[in-house]
Amino acid sequence: MKSILAALLALASLSASAAPFARGDAAAGKKLHDEKCVACHQRLVGGDGSDLYTRIDRKIETPQALRQRVAACSAQVDAGWFPEEEEHAAAYLNSRFYKFK
């Protein structure tokens, strides 16, 4: 029992210190983003849609806010993503635009 508890505590400390999207695959996230997000973002802000991420009045200021926004957008466009896919998309967006540590 003690060994299981110790293992869980060790895992929790690793998760807390890991990069915010360490379980995400940015390459997979880019593909998901390009398939499900770009067209809507282009309608919203024009161009290639990336101005949504780089605008001065950026709404996303934390990794948690990015996760929530990705989940909300996924639901809004009925992307059908699983939580792992949302994590991939967030990892891509973080690596490309947000740079949360």
> What pLDDT is stored for residue 14 in this prediction?
43
Residue numbers of the chain with a pLDDT score lower than 70: 1-18
Q: Are 42 and 49 in contact (CB under 8 A)?
A: yes
Q: Where are the alpha helices (DSSP H) in 1-101?
A: 2-17, 26-36, 38-45, 51-54, 63-76, 83-93
SS3 57: coil
Range of the domain at 44: 2-98
**Structurally, how many domains does the chain consist of?**
1
Core vs surface per residue 61-81: b (16+ CB within 10 A) or e: eebeebbebbbebbeeeebeb
> What pLDDT is stored for residue 19 in this prediction?
85
Q: Single out the residue of 44, 98, 30, 100 nearest to residue 76, CA to CA.
A: 44
